[in-house]
Structure 1
Amino acid sequence: MALNDGYTYREELGGRARGLTVLAYLTRRYGHSDEREWQARLDRGEVRLDGEVAHGSEVLRPGQRLEWRRPPWHEEEAPLEYELIYRDAELLAVSKPSGLPTLPGGGFLNHTLLSVVRRNFPEATPLHRLGRGTSGLVLFARTAGAASFLAEAWRNGEVRKRYRALASGLAEQDSYTITTPIGPVPHPWLGNVFAASPAGKPSLSEAQVLERRPDQDQTLFGVDIPTGRPHQIRIHLASAGHPLVGDPLYASGGLPRADLPGLPGDGGYLLHAERLVFPHPRTGGLLTLRAPPPPELLAADEPPP
């Protein structure tokens, strides 16, 4: 494991901080650490309030600036290579390997796609994200204008996304329109995790069979997702009775597994963002980008990339 550069987390306090001490606020706001751990960080001088070292007893008010200067830590290893798919003055598109997080979080900082892309393109801003275990296309803006244009295009449904997924079981139909709502449900480790939920948000996936593999009891799907809920394809195919092969979290029905709990970021499945179609921020014309899928997600009659 490599030691990273450390990171400073900053926030401007809102109304919920009013009247709390620094220690009480940090303990309530960031539940990943208990009061004893936060007090140890305060004692080491890692926390600052309005630029001054905080000791924990200070009473907070809205508008103050709170910082935690987290020292360098050892990150879990991850593949740090990516393939450049497209580049112009406004945009950058890359193919992310499975196992590399898109953005910082969950203990990852330097070992993220954002970090490795910005080594060569410091201006790049990701316009969406893929799960750590998902490979394929990630689109970046290189200008503020491009970022604004494409954010609006995403909101208006002008961006079309296609994935490939290897699922368990032999599909009885050639295509599936899946509308299972997705929202938070109880999880034994995390408190809540996104999954199939009647109280969730409306979601839509269109899945087409690309190949059935009877000898392995598997189906290769192409999946278009007009909506973009967390873990949508994993949840939707599972809700249709075809959880992804090797998925450690979602079982048939689209709920977290009861027998072998997994975490949302755990890998082991095969899911690839294969194609993006969207209007170009400068020309307005449709641009189609493709990232070749890994060999396991090719049908038998398809040539290797």
Structure 2
Amino acid sequence: MISEDDDPTVLEARIGVGGVRLDKALADAFPGLSRARLQALLAEGAVRRDGEPVAGGSAKATPGLYTVTLPPVAPADPQPEAIPLAVLFEDADLIVVDKPAGMAAHPAPGSETGTLVNALLHHCGDSLSGIGGVARPGIVHRLDKDTSGVMVAAKSDRAHVGLSALFAAHDIERTYIALTRGAPSPARGRIETLIGRSSSDRKKMAVLRSGGRNAITDYVVKAVFGAPARPGAAPMAARVACTLQTGRTHQIRVHLASRGAPILGDPVYGSGSPAAPVRAAMTDAGLKRQALHAAVLGFVHPVTGEALRFETPPPGDMRVLEQKLSQL
């Protein structure tokens, strides 16, 4: 169990059983901290057991009360940046954009600038409301940095509250287009699993037998490319439309991979290598990210009650890749 003492930057947890690597034991005891982060804190002397400093994540853990002292967090203060935006809709309360691949939704370690938030702060200017006491757009859902497609952000407090409620209730139409290695079987279906942090790599999500959160993806194989290597085998690649019924982290990427059809170009969940002709097509298309595009976003405007629906085609890298796959 994690608790905090009087200093909110100090976390403590008791490890009752030793014998495993210390960094792994600490990651299990402090689920809010990644294993890499804990290794850095160990190197900085920020971890103690029963009041004594410990170091070296590869050492075996021993039972005791562990404390982790976190350094002060630098306040997030994103600045406006003149970044072009493909605006699909905008009024006083919200804005809908077609986010390019390579743009993070908001500042985070490794992506402090060049994010959608930075662009929106510049684009919206004084029209932004003071959400949480700070003038900034309300990011109510996210696309992975290297996933392209339609996103909505709130400009007013009332829109922020209303959009958040819609997403929490899954009362949003969201369909993605993915280009996959092989194809899920059957050609149409529903994937319903529990998704949570992987026990072997805490930076990854995984399908779990217990724990995690319920995740539901409906999918349809729209096209297949490349003859199967043998009768009954999967094609070389496919175009798959995925409709989210829930919105878990990396949900589509994890679900398609769990069906043996990972998204092409996915650096995290794309285990196994595509067939040589598919690899050549990816190279020719210049694909340098997962081939996933948020194509459709539909919802009821939280202020006006108007039914809104936006649809955009995949960007150039995915379109060229699909064209080349169709020639296999």
Q: TM-score range by the shorter chain?
A: 0.5 to 0.7
For the pair 1:83 / 2:108, whether they are aligned, the reply is no
- Cα deviation digits, residues 36-63 of structure 1 (max 9, x gap): 6588xxxxxxxxxxxxxxxxxxxxxxxx
Change (3 A) 1:24 1:218: closer
Tell me what 2:222 maps to.
210
Tell me what 2:299 maps to.
278
Q: Which amino acid aligns with 1:195?
A: A
Distance 1:171 1:273 in 2: 19
Tell whether the 8 Å contact from 1:141 to 1:147 is kept in structure 2 after alignment.
Answer: yes
Tell me what 2:5 maps to.
17
Tell me what 1:34 maps to.
41
Deviation at 1:90, TM superposition (A): 1.2
Distance 1:144 1:38 in 2: 42
For the pair 1:292 / 2:305, whether they are aligned, the reply is no
- Structure 1 vs Structure 2: percent identity of aligned residues? 27
Deviation at 1:205, TM superposition (A): 0.4
Superposed, 1:258-277 pairs within 5 Å as: 268-277=289-298
Q: Secondary structure at the match of 2:152?
A: strand
TM-score in terms of structure 1 length: 0.68
Tell me what 1:243 maps to.
262
Distance 2:42 2:261 in 1: 43
Superposed, 1:103-182 pairs within 5 Å as: 103-122=106-125, 123=128, 124-182=137-195
- Cα deviation digits, residues 8-30 of structure 1 (max 9, x gap): xxxxxx9603269x6888xx987
Change (3 A) 1:19 1:229: closer
Deviation at 1:82, TM superposition (A): 3.4
Superposed, 1:59-98 pairs within 5 Å as: 67-69=72-74, 81-98=84-101
Q: Which amino acid aligns with 2:221?
A: V
Distance 1:169 1:283 in 2: 43
Deviation at 1:296, TM superposition (A): 5.0
Q: Secondary structure at the match of 1:154?
A: helix
Change (3 A) 1:35 1:280: same
Distance 1:23 1:295 in 2: 48
Change (3 A) 1:89 1:179: same
Aligned length: 237
Q: Secondary structure at the match of 2:303?
A: coil
TM-score in terms of structure 2 length: 0.63
Distance 1:113 1:243 in 2: 27
Q: Which amino acid aligns with 2:154?
A: A
Change (3 A) 1:273 1:208: same
Unaligned runs of 5+ in 1: 1-13, 40-65, 73-79, 254-266, 301-305
Deviation at 1:269, TM superposition (A): 1.2
- Cα deviation digits, residues 120-175 of structure 1 (max 9, x gap): 12422212111111011111111101111111122222211010001101455331
Unaligned runs of 5+ in 2: 13-29, 47-70, 78-82, 129-136, 228-234, 273-287, 324-328
Deviation at 1:252, TM superposition (A): 6.4
Distance 1:69 1:150 in 2: 28
Tell whether the 8 Å contact from 2:195 to 2:213 is kept in structure 1 after alignment.
Answer: yes
Change (3 A) 1:19 1:295: closer
Change (3 A) 1:196 1:23: closer
Q: Secondary structure at the match of 2:214?
A: coil
For the pair 1:194 / 2:205, whether they are aligned, the reply is yes
Distance 1:282 1:208 in 2: 33
Change (3 A) 1:295 1:251: closer
Distance 2:251 2:219 in 1: 12
Tell whether the 8 Å contact from 1:240 to 1:252 is kept in structure 2 after alignment.
Answer: no
Distance 1:142 1:24 in 2: 36
Tell whether the 8 Å contact from 2:180 to 2:262 is kept in structure 1 after alignment.
Answer: yes
- Cα deviation digits, residues 238-287 of structure 1 (max 9, x gap): 1111011121221569xxxxxxxxxxxxx621101111110012221311
Tell whether the 8 Å contact from 1:126 to 1:138 is kept in structure 2 after alignment.
Answer: no
Deviation at 1:297, TM superposition (A): 4.2
